[in-house]
Structure 1
Amino acid sequence: MLLNYNPNHCFPSAEDLPDSDDTPVDNELQDLIPHVLKDILALIWSERMDWFFGVDMGIYYNPKQPTDVIVPDGFLSIGVPRIIDSDLRLSYVLWDEQVIPTMVLEVVSQTRRAEYTNKKEDYAKMGVLYYVIYNPLRKRKPRLEVYQLNNKEYELLPGEPVWLSQINLGIGRETGIYQGIEREWLYWYDQQGKRYLTPEEKAVEAQQQALEAKQQALEAKERAKLLEERLRSLGIDPNEL
């Protein structure tokens, strides 16, 4: 979604604003889980340069109050340059970017930060299409909830993985290994519900394929050697065939 701001107004740029609210995350998962999604996107969208995934980065959304900032654990914007310059982004300033994030992710920790109340309302007012809340501490209620904005209000989307049609990806949970840690992570999925691999998993898969190819080559060489020996035992020179 594009925004329209008067270019004649002198709003502060990203260089003039803090890159976060300086509030540290209180759970390592708030950093790792968004990075899983970002790493996979960097792999499956490696040829695309029209997207940006921010992790623990401030979003400045109110030009009337330029210091107003909200800092989600992760967010995805589509239709913006992936890289703006060699210094990369310091923060995400809506009146500079002109594109509202398509998806925002919040990872709930023991210290609640109004993920189900105030932040949800703020993202709806901002116009964020998809709001994703992952609460790994939940035991009875769903840990993953995905909302879509409809008539300025969020509606819970059913199923899992949840298909995000405007992103052309699904999002869901699965147990896997990331940075050597085995637990439940969030992943992207294709339209058939197949999970996209992380770069680590892709590397392991490529290594396994290389080993299998090497083993197949050795087996083929051994079969050829046995065949040659069999032919010679029958008085047939394989070189004359």
Structure 2
Amino acid sequence: MLKYKSCKNLPPVEELDYSEDTLVNHELQDLIPHLLKTILALAWANRWDWFFAAQMRIYYDPDESAIVPDGFLSLGVERFIDERLRSCYVLWEENDIVPILVLEVVTKVSGEEYIAKKETYVQMGVLYYVIYNLLSRRRPPLEVYRLVDGSYQLQSENPVWLPEINLGIGRERGTFQGITREWLYWYNEQGQRLLTPEEQLTEAERRAERLAEQLRNAGIEPDL
């Protein structure tokens, strides 16, 4: 894991450069991490020890440029730091807590997700590295790597269970924001997909309709 010397004068977040625009090459680079974040926000609504971000700079060493994954999850940090929220994720202001999971959505031929970024995440000590590939037919569409003894080992399941997060991650067809395609989702230990807020609302409406029908069958007009 990458270490920086504690004796250095570490710059506060206000002095870090985040004025340069973060480029998103494909709409799915924004939608896929936001779907994962939306599901987490519902599943972990009563937890305040996690942070998920999309297209946010991670400052991991004061001598290095920031790295910008498409999405990342940190555990053991404050979900909200103040009303201004975070403009970037700075390790030395987050008690040196490295993201436990990083997501990259491959939308163009560059290779940095498999070489440069991968090496940086190893140095940082990111436990899980998730690559969702929209392009290459020579690679699996979803690759989940686990850091073992300083190198990433590919996990073969779908979904892949992540015991340190107590969730699985995998791919499945579904609908998000009216778009039906394959998405990435979180799963419970039984392999059941966690529902999106829209799906939970639909389920609640169906339960209400079934209850109303049962009441009508019993001769009771439901108060809707």
Please give the TM-score of this superposition, normalised by the length of structure 2.
0.92
For 1:138, the equivalent position in structure 2 comes to 136
SS at structure 2 position matched to 1:172: strand
1:27–1:109 Cα contact (<8 Å) kept:
yes
Tell me, which stretches of 5 or more residues in structure 2 are unaligned? Answer: none
- 1:11 maps to a residue whose letter is L
CA distance in 1, matches of 2:54, 2:212: 40
Q: Which has the larger radius of gyration?
A: 1
For 1:73, the equivalent position in structure 2 comes to 70
1:53–1:77 Cα contact (<8 Å) kept:
yes
SS at structure 2 position matched to 1:148: strand
Please list the CA deviations of residues 170-193 of structure 1 after superposition, one character each: whole Å capped at 9, or x if unmatched.
Answer: 000000000010000000001110
SS at structure 2 position matched to 1:122: helix
CA distance in 2, matches of 1:191, 1:176: 20
Coordinate RMSD, CA, aligned: 2.1
Give the superposition deviation at 1:215. 1.4
Please list the CA deviations of residues 17-70 of structure 1 after superposition, one character each: whole Å capped at 9, or x if unmatched.
Answer: 23475231010000000011100100111110000001100000112x1x6100
Question: Residue 4 and residue 221 in structure 1: after superposition, are their counterparts in 2 closer, same or farther (change >3 A)?
Answer: farther
CA distance in 2, matches of 1:21, 1:58: 10
Please give the TM-score of this superposition, normalised by the length of structure 1.
0.86
Tell me, which stretches of 5 or more residues in structure 1 are unaligned? Answer: 223-241
For 2:119, the equivalent position in structure 1 comes to 121
For 2:156, the equivalent position in structure 1 comes to 158
Aligned residues: 220
Please list the CA deviations of residues 191-220 of structure 1 after superposition, one character each: whole Å capped at 9, or x if unmatched.
Answer: 110000011111111111111111111111
CA distance in 2, matches of 1:165, 1:5: 31
Question: Residue 213 and residue 12 in structure 1: after superposition, are their counterparts in 2 closer, same or farther (change >3 A)?
Answer: same
- 1:56 maps to a residue whose letter is Q
Question: Taking every aligned residue pair, what percent have the same amino acid on both sides?
Answer: 56
